[in-house]
């Protein structure tokens, strides 16, 4: 995939993956186990960003949200307005599960980050 930072009609975007030639735009969310309101809004913002970029490009693109945890992905496949909008605008949700060892490492890293946030007051 090409550069993550692109400019379309003088508007700057940054995607996790993008190819104008292949007509692909995508975002990856690597959260696991649960998702709080802040990251939910981030995913919804990413969807809006992909739809807007597609409009500026002037042609249809395959738009993807990629998750590594099916429990998180299901939050965007339910009956909420956001889930319906994701489907309506043709954003495909893909789950790429990772192995248990990598999941364990992510969980350990998240614990360290949470402890750091407590001590740093974040």
Model pLDDT for residues 14-36, shown as the tens digit of each residue: 999 999 999 999 999 988 878 88
* pTM, to two decimals: 0.81
**CA 1 to chain CA centroid, nearest Å:** 16
Q: What would the pLDDT profile of 88-97 be if each residue is shown by its tens digit?
A: 999 999 998 8
Which domain covers residue 24, as residue numbers? 5-120
Residue 3 — pLDDT band, cuts 50, 70, 90? low
Q: What would the pLDDT profile of 62-75 be if each residue is shown by its tens digit?
A: 999 999 889 999 99
Q: How many domains are contained in the chain?
A: 1
């Amino acid at each position: 995939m090409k550069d993550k930072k692109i400019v379309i009609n003088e508007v700057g975007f940054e995607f996790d993956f993008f190819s104008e030639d292949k007509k692909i735009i995508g975002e990856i969310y690597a959260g696991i186990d649960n998702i709080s309101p802040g990251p939910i809004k981030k995913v919804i913002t990413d969807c809006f960003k992909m739809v807007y970029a597609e409009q500026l490009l002037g042609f249809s693109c395959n738009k993807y949200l990629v998750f590594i945890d099916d429990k998180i992905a299901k939050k965007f496949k339910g009956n909420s307005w956001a889930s319906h909008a994701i489907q309506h605008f043709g954003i495909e949700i893909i789950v790429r599960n990772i192995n248990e060892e990598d999941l364990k490492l992510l969980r350990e890293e998240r614990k360290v980050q949470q402890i750091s946030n407590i001590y740093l007051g974040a």
